[in-house]
Chain A
């Protein structure tokens, strides 16, 4: 048998469709400068301390 399927066909119906053209996503490109403004409002002001104080223990 050479024909096989990787997923349950009943799932394929509501699965991910064709990729959007990248240009569709990028119609927002003009909005990107607005987005950059938005970043300024969500980042904590003390950048250096914020980053340096993020200390974890190793995982796995």
Chain B
């Protein structure tokens, strides 16, 4: 089925935390570590060299955060493979950097954390992109997504041991306490949940981009999947004009914190109409809305959508019945909470112990031999969805059914023949005397005669 009315482009951008340590001491500044990490890539901060043959983008972002942006994906299987491939690509850079550091006599081990917070209150993000058909009334509807984003922590949160004025406690989300606005065009100064910078990287008469920046970076693939499945399905409700009920909240910024800090899911929220609901009730309302819409349309769901929808429902049941064992191999916060509880029990530690803070941080370490989550996954305590072989392929191969295919093929051929090219999300350009350039404005098009000719010319 190639009917474009039902396909959607998804993308996921991850900013990683970066440090280099030896015996608890930093041996390099973050900037120096980044320089070692990106040495092979050359001009790491220049966007021209940042695209890879799998169609993704890898570069050094604001604040010395390595950032990996998946290529355009129209299936969530591709998205999971691409996202996971990014971690492997970065781990390859880490291995090379460790060799270069050893040669230069620099001590220390590089840590790349897929998390969102450091020890001194800074935050960096995980950004989801959803391509939408442009409709005039859309801007007015963004507000109706906020209560969903505020309550989806119940099944998307990465979990965090949080220090509050009232003491140390476990919270659903890493990002909740770093949000200062609902919808805005700002990013760093007053970080919003939805960023309105509308860069569709496509024909802007037809499409717009929904840029969601409130999410936690997720470790468990099922958690990433349920995050995208729930948003995709909710957007279909919204696009069909069926999201008519006013579910908006009186104070979004207070609400997102209150929800995060109460892992019973019973945080009380005040709606714009004055009614009080719990986080769980509001989350259930969105689920019911989506389920009813899916049933009414008799959608044939993909296997990953079926699983994601089931996991969404099961997560809310787990919270409603106070039985997190229903989800503690699939949902990040529940996996982390189980681990921390058992580890604290074993060593008789309280939640405010430094070792627990370290465990919380190292849960997000992307090193497969040392990262706590990756070890949980390897030992069968956390569910993995991707096939390791598919992820290896995705390191160098673009998704086959989107524009990423054109970009990836172009970059691969250019590398093969040693030709300098300049690439961004929409442009493919040969950087020689001819300056031949093709603009690819359709993110759904994986076949383009003009690009074939350009590749043949290389």
Contact = CB atoms under 8 A, between A and B. Distances in A.
Given A19-B311, A56-B118, A4 B1 contact: yes
Given A43-B355, A56-B18, A16 B63 contact: no
B372 A42 contact: yes
Contacts of A59: 15, 61-63, 65, 122-125, 188
B346 A11 contact: no
A54 B307 contact: no
A5 B119 CA distance: 45
Contacts of B15: 59-60
A45 B1 contact: no
Interface string A3-32: 111111101101111111010011110011
Interface core residue of A7, A11, A17, A22 (most chain B CB under 10 Å)? A7
Contacts of A11: 75, 77-78, 302, 401
Contact of B354 (A17, A35, A48): A48
Contact of B375 (A17, A42, A46, A55): A42
Interface stretch (B98-106, B166-174, B293-301, B448-456): B293-301
| Size bin of chain B's contact surface | 35 or more
Closest 4 CB pairs of A and B: A59-B124, A46-B24, A49-B24, A57-B63
20 contacts: A2-B298, A3-B298, A3-B300, A4-B6, A4-B300, A5-B1, A6-B299, A7-B305, A15-B75, A15-B302, A19-B307, A28-B380, A31-B379, A42-B370, A43-B362, A44-B21, A49-B24, A58-B124, A59-B61, A59-B62
Given A16-B304, A25-B383, 20 more contacts: A6-B302, A11-B302, A15-B303, A16-B303, A26-B329, A38-B375, A44-B23, A45-B24, A46-B23, A47-B24, A48-B24, A48-B357, A51-B119, A51-B354, A53-B21, A54-B21, A54-B118, A57-B65, A60-B15, A60-B62
Interface of B: 1-3, 5-8, 15, 17-19, 21, 23-26, 30, 61-65, 74-78, 111, 113, 118-120, 122-125, 127, 187-188, 191, 213, 225, 232, 297-305, 307, 310-311, 325-326, 329-330, 342-343, 346, 353-355, 357-359, 361-362, 369-370, 372, 375-376, 379-383, 385, 390, 401
